[in-house]
Amino acid sequence: METTSIHHDNRRVRPRRGACRRAVAGVAGLAALSLAACGGGSGGSADSDEAVDYPDQEITFVVPFSAGGPTDTVTRLIAEPMSKELGQQIVVQNVEGAGGTVAAGQVATAESDGYTVLIHHIGMSTAPALYPDLPYKPLEDFKPVGLITDVPMTIVARKDFEPETLEDLIAYVKENADSVTLANAGIGAASQLCGLLIEQAVGVDLTEVPYDGTGPALTDLVGGQVDFMCDQTTNTASQIQAEKIKGYAVTTPEPVEALPDLPTTAEAGLPDVEVGVWHGLYVPADTPDAVVEKLTEALAVALEDQNVIDKMADLGTAPVPPEDVTPEAHTSKLEEQIDLWTPIIEDAGVTGT
Ligand code: MLT
């Protein structure tokens, strides 16, 4: 079964409106839909009959960053087995902007029928502290479906960047803080959070170069247009292995099997830079529990798929344990992470717009 198709452009997801869902004839129709174009319809959430039939049409997975980047990669890995399990096509839609908050804001107000699903990562827990006017509340406007994976980050640089080790990098950025460039995927992205931790630990304020995702940021790193960045192994592992970029360290307490030559940040001199990029699926808050249950079950099946396990291992990560593939575990993680990151971000005084 053909499961995914790519949408590179920014487009709105379907608004909350009962009649709209039935009007969608195909992928192209998504871009054209608007409240006005959808006409009448009673609106509101899907009723229990719909939950019994669910899913009876294609499902859209909204990715808050660029196609080809780490979030997109994880999405496409799970979309295929989930599609098989649910018996419906899954369309992957990239809605970029404002460090992932544009997509989350759109899904928060999308129709709550289980046909619009957000994949998001640690950024769901950092956004409330970063954006004073965030148009959604992570704990109130969504139902978590389940956790997916917790991806290590790497500190990486263009191949010809002078520092050879993390220790060299620390000394170099202290000496050259005015000229060094640090790429990220915007305020709210995992790369921005990790970069912030590095700046705090080293005591520098670098020139940040924001992208719509670390997919394009990595392309520029390989091309030598920016100096260094923090990014997930799901994006960097193959480029480090191919020696197209320089890898300094992994941001996890334990080394990463796919990158055996990289020390941990604790081993290499930045013990405060420890961060794992946990991912989960979300639906709008009014989505019926029976629909959420079907998505959770399909996610659990996908994460036991040997192909998914093997591909994640190649990319330096793994599915979360089965007990974390539940709305309850996901909600606890989100609460705990909001509590963890809020004071750190407030102390740093970083804000998005
Ligand atoms: C992406 O998919 O581009 C990343 O997850 C961006 C980030 O959070 O650094």
Pocket probe for ligand 1: among 71, 278, 337, the residue whose CB has the most ligand atoms within 8 Å is: 71
Same domain for 246 and 201, yes or no, is: yes
Segment 12-22 mean pLDDT: 44
Same domain for 78 and 166, yes or no, is: no
Segment 193-216 mean pLDDT: 96
For residue 317, is it within any domain?
Answer: yes
Same domain for 68 and 201, yes or no, is: no
What are the Cα distances from residue 17, in Å, to 43, 73, 186? 4, 30, 31
Q: Please tell me whether residue 293 adopts helix, strand or coil conformation.
A: helix
For residue 257, is it within any domain?
Answer: yes
State the CB neighbour count (10 A cutoff) for residue 349: 6
pLDDT of residue 350: 82
Q: Is the minimum distance from the CB of 124 to ligand 1 under 6 angstroms? A: no
Q: Determine the structural domain holding residue 67 and report its residue range.
A: 2-150+278-348
Q: Is the minimum distance from the CB of 288 to ligand 1 under 6 angstroms? A: no
Pocket probe for ligand 1: among 61, 73, 95, 121, the residue whose CB has the most ligand atoms within 8 Å is: 121
Same domain for 187 and 301, yes or no, is: no
Tens digits of residue pLDDT in 55-103: 999 999 999 999 999 999 999 999 999 999 999 999 999 999 999 999 9
Residue 200 — pLDDT band, cuts 50, 70, 90?
A: very high
pLDDT of residue 353: 73
Tens digits of residue pLDDT in 261-297: 999 999 999 999 999 999 999 999 999 999 999 999 9
Same domain for 174 and 144, yes or no, is: no
Q: Is the minimum distance from the CB of 71 to ligand 1 under 6 angstroms? A: yes
Q: Is the minimum distance from the CB of 188 to ligand 1 under 6 angstroms? A: no
Same domain for 21 and 120, yes or no, is: yes
> What CATH number does residue 219 fall under?
3.40.190.10
DSSP of 160-171: T-S--SHHHHHH
Q: Is the minimum distance from the CB of 236 to ligand 1 under 6 angstroms? A: no
Whether residue 151 has pLDDT greater than 80 = yes
Q: Is the minimum distance from the CB of 99 to ligand 1 under 6 angstroms? A: no
Contact 182/208 with Cβ under 8 angstroms?
yes
Same domain for 231 and 142, yes or no, is: no
Distance 66 CA to ligand 1 centre (A): 8
- More confident: 340 or 49: 340
Residue closest via CA to ligand 1's atom 2 equals: 71
Residue 331 — pLDDT band, cuts 50, 70, 90?
A: very high
Residue 14 — pLDDT band, cuts 50, 70, 90?
A: low
Q: Is the minimum distance from the CB of 341 to ligand 1 under 6 angstroms? A: no
What are the Cα distances from residue 281, in Å, to 150, 197, 259, 292, 334? 13, 26, 27, 10, 12
Whether residue 35 has pLDDT greater than 50 = no
Tens digits of residue pLDDT in 92-110: 999 999 999 999 999 999 9
Roughly how many angstroms between the first and final C-alpha of the chain, as a whole number?
A: 41
Same domain for 288 and 325, yes or no, is: yes
Same domain for 63 and 87, yes or no, is: yes
Distance 213 CA to ligand 1 centre (A): 5
Last residue of a domain, one of 249, 276, 303: 276
Farthest-apart Cα atoms in the chain, separation? 65
For residue 64, is it within any domain?
Answer: yes
Distance 226 CA to ligand 1 centre (A): 16
Distance 120 CA to ligand 1 centre (A): 9
pLDDT of residue 52: 76
For residue 173, is it within any domain?
Answer: yes
Tens digits of residue pLDDT in 228-251: 999 999 999 999 999 999 999 999
Whether residue 311 has pLDDT greater than 90 = yes
21-30, 132-141, 215-224: which range is least confident on average? 21-30
Same domain for 251 and 286, yes or no, is: no
Residue closest via CA to ligand 1's atom 5 equals: 71
Q: Which of 12, 147, 11, 3 is nearest to 76 (CA)?
A: 3
Query: Strand 181-184 to strand 207-210: parallel, antiparallel, or no bridges (unpaired)?
Result: parallel
Tens digits of residue pLDDT in 344-353: 999 888 887 7
pLDDT of residue 49: 60
Amino acid 51 reads A
pLDDT of residue 39: 31
Last residue of a domain, one of 276, 308, 324: 276
Q: Is the minimum distance from the CB of 114 to ligand 1 under 6 angstroms? A: no
Q: Is the minimum distance from the CB of 189 to ligand 1 under 6 angstroms? A: yes
Pocket probe for ligand 1: among 65, 122, 130, the residue whose CB has the most ligand atoms within 8 Å is: 65
Number of domains in the chain: 2
pLDDT of residue 13: 58
Mean pLDDT, rounded, of the chain = 88
For residue 163, is it within any domain?
Answer: yes
pLDDT of residue 29: 29
The contacts of residue 36 (CB under 8 Å, 6+ apart) are none
Q: Is the minimum distance from the CB of 185 to ligand 1 under 6 angstroms? A: yes
Q: Which of 157, 127, 173, 282 is nearest to 223 (CA)?
A: 157
User: Model-level pTM?
Assistant: 0.87
For residue 249, is it within any domain?
Answer: yes
For residue 353, is it within any domain?
Answer: no
Whether residue 113 has pLDDT greater than 70 = yes
> What CATH number does residue 80 fall under?
3.40.190.150
Same domain for 325 and 186, yes or no, is: no
For residue 268, is it within any domain?
Answer: yes
Last residue of a domain, one of 246, 276, 306: 276
Q: Is the minimum distance from the CB of 248 to ligand 1 under 6 angstroms? A: no
Whether residue 27 has pLDDT greater than 50 = no
Distance 69 CA to ligand 1 centre (A): 6
Same domain for 162 and 251, yes or no, is: yes
